[in-house]
């Protein structure tokens, strides 16, 4: 189903000697330089699954971030009742309508359509604006356990997985999970963990047990695959606003599309996500920062890393 792509992040640290994330001893990964004869197919096909009535902005933000993150083609698979709204955010996005239930959420009948949509894609993002239902819980479990391509699971896709602990340990391919502390508590079943240190230890343990990468969001977000760990040093309190996590989902999906391995995509994605927030806050201030500002400043953040 997936395109075979070389891991561009394995051997090319950012910058001549390796631009370093101050919170990690390892150099940040970087994307390979684009050849002059490149075409859009060289940079991957992203499919982002989500959206629901009343939460169309989340999947649109993820899609716009995937475009700005460098994916060659980005398609959003959304409930058909939301298609017009989602498509209106950005003309560069492709969209695919899925059957919806009476609540405006993706319905179980969408599975057969998704099977066709997923066949040619390079990487998948699932969760922004998804909402909750028993049918969606089953659909998320199917995607998580059967999809061979790299995939990012966020937001309500994580809440769906939290109801099915056995599923979490059966990923069908490379997985990046991006929970905030509340989502992680539900996902891990350890809602009593209070300290950040305890949360991070449990995140590393769970990542190792399940064979996934976890980005535990927050101040100095932790990125871990159970063996490796790094803390992100970019970002600011202005990013504590709705939609910024959806932007991160789009960025990491785009980096997976371009050949970065999951741990590297998560590290670089967290860095440029926070850096875009820092650049936006410098110009706009922290109080007025909104998620779409991150998309607007993302090109500058990516260029800053490329030039370092």
Q: What does the angle CA 234 – CA 194 – CA 151 come to, to the nearest 5 degrees? A: 55
Beta strands 222-224; 229-231: pairing state = antiparallel
Sign of CA dihedral 243, 71, 273, 256: positive
Q: Which domains are seen in the chain, by residue range?
A: 42-307 (3.40.1190.20)
Residue 26 banded pLDDT, cuts 50, 70, 90: confident
**Which residue from 132, 143, 141 is spatially nearest to 104, judged by alpha carbons?**
132
| Whole-number percent of the chain with pLDDT over 70 | 92
Q: How far is CA 295 from CA 178, 183, 266, 273, in A?
A: 18, 24, 17, 9
152 close to 129: Cβ distance less than 8 angstroms: no
Q: What is the mean pLDDT of residues 218-231?
A: 97
**CA-CA distance, 252 to 178, in Å (whole number)?**
10
Asked if 301 contacts 70 with a C-beta cutoff of 8 angstroms, the reply is no
pLDDT level of residue 308 (50, 70, 90 thresholds):
confident
Does the pLDDT of residue 220 top 80, yes or no? yes
The model's pLDDT over 123-136, given as tens digits with 9 standing for 90+, comes to: 999 999 999 999 99
Closest by Cα among 152, 300, 287 to 234 = 300
């Amino acid at each position: 189903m997936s395109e075979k792509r070389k891991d561009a992040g394995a051997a090319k640290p950012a910058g001549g000697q390796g631009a370093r994330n101050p919170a990690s001893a390892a150099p940040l990964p970087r994307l390979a330089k684009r050849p002059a004869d490149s075409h859009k197919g060289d940079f991957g096909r992203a499919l982002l699954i989500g959206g629901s009535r009343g939460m169309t902005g989340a999947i649109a933000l993820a899609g716009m971030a995937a475009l700005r993150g460098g994916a060659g083609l980005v398609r959003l698979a959304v409930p058909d009742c939301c298609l017009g709204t989602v498509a209106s955010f950005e003309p560069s996005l492709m969209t695919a309508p899925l059957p919806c239930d009476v609540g405006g959420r993706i319905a179980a009948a969408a599975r057969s359509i998704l099977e066709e949509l997923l066949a040619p894609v390079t990487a998948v993002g699932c969760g922004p604006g998804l909402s909750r239902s028993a049918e969606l819980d089953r659909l998320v479990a199917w995607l998580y356990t059967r999809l061979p391509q790299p995939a990012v699971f966020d937001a309500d896709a994580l809440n769906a997985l939290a109801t099915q602990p056995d599923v979490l340990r059966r990923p069908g391919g490379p997985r990046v999970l991006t929970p905030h502390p509340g989502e992680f508590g539900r996902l891990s079943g350890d809602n009593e963990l209070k300290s950040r240190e305890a949360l991070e230890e449990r995140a590393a343990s769970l990542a190792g047990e399940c064979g996934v990468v976890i980005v535990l969001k927050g101040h100095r977000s932790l990125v871990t695959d159970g063996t490796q760990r790094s803390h992100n040093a970019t970002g600011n309190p202005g990013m504590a606003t709705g939609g910024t996590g959806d932007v991160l989902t789009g960025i990491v999906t785009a980096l997976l599309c371009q050949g970065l391995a999951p741990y590297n995509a998560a590290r670089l994605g967290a860095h440029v996500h926070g850096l875009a927030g820092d650049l936006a806050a410098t110009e706009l201030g922290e109080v007025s920062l909104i998620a779409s500002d991150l998309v607007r400043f993302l090109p500058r953040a990516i260029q800053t890393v490329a030039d370092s």
